[in-house]
Amino acid sequence: MEKIIEDIVPTKFELAQNYPNPFSRKTTIKFCIPDRMKIRLEIYNTDNRKIKTLIDEIKEAGTYEIDFSASKLLSSVSAKGGYTSGVYFYQLKAGSFVETKKMVLIK
């Protein structure tokens, strides 16, 4: 679940680097939106296949954080029953703003 983390309204879009990165279980993604609008925050693998949609809704202007758990990488389950280590991408789309960042899962 995402949470708003500041009362100050940002003046520009921002997608921060996830923390920690690399991560083994859970990582936090922070982003800022300056106006109320529909946003999408999605996770992709290196084949550009969408793994998970974290947010797809209208949000008020603000700074948000969302925790992402590696256990949610359901379509990346390995043959051994675990989740695959590797590079993933997360992308924020808000109006005409689109930004993508890389994150690394280490199991």
Domains of the chain: 2-105 (2.60.40.1930)
pLDDT at 59 over 90: yes
Q: What is the pLDDT of residues 18-42, one digit of tens each?
A: 999 999 889 999 999 999 999 999 9
Model confidence band, residue 81 (pLDDT cutoffs 50, 70, 90): very low
Tokens of 79: 């043959």
CB atoms within 10 A of CB 35: 12
**Which one-letter DSSP state was computed for residue 18?**
P
Residue 1 has a pLDDT of: 57
Using an 8 Å Cβ cutoff, are 30 and 5 in contact?
yes
Q: 64 pLDDT exceeds 80? A: yes
Note the pTM of the prediction, 2 decimals: 0.85
Joined together, the tokens standing for residue 10 give: 């940002």
